[in-house]
């Protein structure tokens, strides 16, 4: 793991963070109003760290996103694709969260304003990392050459 390009290391760290967040979403105390955690939908009053509205579905999505990221981070192309594609997904999720009625039926994950700002940050950061670190990995000579 020591000799892996930085884009792979960063993608691995991002993916592992998503998996950690998924697990923490099921931990009472870290998740406030844990007894109000629902399967899906805006009725879930549980919040990760008292800020980010979550549900069982939301936690599962974070976990799956992390697993996909770990698999993709095994190669330079995959790591870059995870950062760029995942960032794009989060920007779409940000846009979705800003146009829907957060109290309406379309808010199935659920999302709140804090989630929207986090998704904007994640999307922009992941894309930025994918662009900058992906270019470095493509330009770097292969080990042993």
Instruction: Note the pLDDT tens digit of each residue in 97-107.
Output: 999 999 999 99
Structure pTM? 0.88
Please give the Cα distance from 110 to 78 (Å, whole number): 29
- The answer to whether residue 145 sits within a structural domain is no
pLDDT of 141 over the 60 cut: no
- The pLDDT confidence band at residue 135, using thresholds 50, 70 and 90, is confident
Q: What is the pLDDT of residues 55-80, one digit of tens each?
A: 999 999 999 999 999 999 999 999 99
The pLDDT of 120-126, averaged and rounded, is 98
The pLDDT of 79-104, averaged and rounded, is 96
Structure tokens at 59: 């936690």
Instruction: Give the CA angle between residues 30, 91, 118 to the nearest 5°.
Output: 25
pLDDT of 140: 53
pLDDT of 117 over the 90 cut: yes
Please give the Cα distance from 120 to 122 (Å, whole number): 6
The pLDDT of 74-87, averaged and rounded, is 97
- The answer to whether residue 93 sits within a structural domain is yes
Taking the alpha carbons of 38, 114, 101, 93 in that order, is the dihedral positive or negative? negative
The distance of Cα 66 from the centroid of its chain, to the nearest Å, equals 7
Please give the Cα distance from 140 to 9 (Å, whole number): 15
Q: Residue 16: which domain range? A: 6-138
pLDDT of 2: 64
Mean pLDDT in the chain?
A: 92
pLDDT of 144: 43
**How many of the other CB atoms lie within 10 Å of CB of 23?**
13
Q: Enumerate the H helices of the chain as residue ranges.
A: 6-24, 56-72, 76-99, 113-139
- The answer to whether residue 60 sits within a structural domain is yes
- The answer to whether residue 1 sits within a structural domain is no
Structure tokens at 34: 């844990």
Please give the Cα distance from 39 to 55 (Å, whole number): 6
- The answer to whether residue 143 sits within a structural domain is no
Please give the Cα distance from 142 to 69 (Å, whole number): 23
- The answer to whether residue 128 sits within a structural domain is yes
The pLDDT of 22-27, averaged and rounded, is 97
Domain count, the chain: 1
**How many of the other CB atoms lie within 10 Å of CB of 101?**
9
């Amino acid at each position: 793991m020591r000799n892996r390009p930085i884009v792979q290391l960063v993608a691995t760290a991002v993916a592992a963070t998503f998996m950690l967040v998924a697990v923490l979403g099921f931990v009472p105390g870290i998740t406030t109003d844990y007894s109000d955690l629902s399967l899906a939908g805006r009725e879930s009053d549980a919040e990760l760290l008292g800020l980010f509205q979550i549900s069982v579905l939301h936690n599962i999505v974070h976990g799956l996103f992390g697993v996909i990221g770990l698999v993709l981070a095994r190669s330079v192309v995959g790591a870059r694709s995870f950062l760029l594609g995942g960032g794009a997904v989060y920007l779409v999720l940000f846009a979705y969260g800003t146009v829907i009625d957060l109290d309406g039926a379309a808010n199935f994950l659920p999302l709140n304003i804090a989630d929207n700002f986090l998704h904007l940050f994640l999307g922009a950061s992941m894309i930025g990392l994918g662009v900058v670190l992906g270019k470095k990995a493509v330009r770097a000579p292969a080990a042993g050459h």
